[in-house]
C-alpha cells in the first residue's frame, strides 16, 4: 500500500535519474522500511495524469490568428520569428509545442504540472521548468507565477 508520505517522496524523487539497488539486510545495517525487499508489490498509480486532447490543442492553435500568421510566414519563408519552426502540422518554439496565449487548456496544464502529486506543489521555477520542457505559450512564466502565488496549499 502506498501512503501519502510515500507519494510525496515519490513526487520529489521523480525529477532525478537514479537506480535503486537492493542490498541484503546483512550488508545494510541502517535498513529501513524503504530499503527492505518486501516481495512483489502491486504498482499503484501515484497520480492519474490529465488526458490532454492534443487534437483539440492542434485545432485551437490552427485557429489562433497570431500563431496562424507565424505558421504561414514560416511556411512561405517570410517574416522574422526566431526560435519558431513548423514540424509536420505542429508549430514549435525552441523544440516545444506552442499553445495559443488564450488556450482553454492552460489552466488544466498549470494545475497538472503544479497542483497534482506529479507536480508536487513545487515552486515557480520547478513548475515552470517542468512545463517548459515540453510546452510554450507567450506569458507562460507570468502565468506560472500567478498560479503558484494563488495556490492555497502552498
Task: List CB contacts of 23: < 8 A, sequence separation 6 or more.
Answer: 31, 35
**What are the tens digits of pLDDT across the range 12-52?**
877 778 787 777 766 666 655 555 555 544 544 444 455 56
- In CATH, the number for domain 54-150 is 1.10.340.70
User: pLDDT digits over 56-95, tens only?
Assistant: 877 888 889 999 999 999 999 988 999 999 998 889 999 9
Please answer whether residues 147 and 109 qualify as being in contact, where contact means their C-beta atoms are separated by less than 8 angstroms.
no
Range list for CATH 1.10.340.70 in the chain: 54-150
Q: What is the pLDDT of residue 27?
A: 67
User: Can you give the pLDDT at residue 85?
Assistant: 94
Amino acid at each position: 500500500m502506498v501512503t501519502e508520505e510515500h507519494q510525496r517522496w515519490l513526487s520529489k524523487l521523480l525529477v532525478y535519474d537514479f537506480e535503486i539497488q537492493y542490498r541484503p539486510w546483512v550488508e545494510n545495517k541502517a535498513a529501513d522500511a524503504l530499503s527492505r525487499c518486501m516481495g512483489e508489490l502491486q504498482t499503484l498509480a501515484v497520480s492519474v495524469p490529465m488526458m490532454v486532447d492534443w487534437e483539440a490543442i492542434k485545432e485551437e492553435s490552427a485557429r489562433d490568428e497570431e500563431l496562424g500568421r507565424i505558421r504561414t510566414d514560416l511556411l512561405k519563408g517570410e517574416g522574422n520569428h526566431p526560435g519558431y519552426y513548423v514540424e509536420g502540422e505542429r508549430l514549435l518554439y525552441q523544440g516545444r509545442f506552442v499553445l495559443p496565449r488564450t488556450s482553454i487548456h492552460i489552466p488544466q496544464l498549470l494545475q497538472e504540472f503544479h497542483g497534482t502529486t506529479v507536480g508536487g506543489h513545487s515552486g515557480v521555477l520547478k513548475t515552470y521548468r517542468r512545463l517548459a520542457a515540453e510546452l510554450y505559450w507567450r506569458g507562460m512564466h507570468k502565468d506560472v507565477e500567478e498560479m503558484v502565488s494563488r495556490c492555497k496549499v502552498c
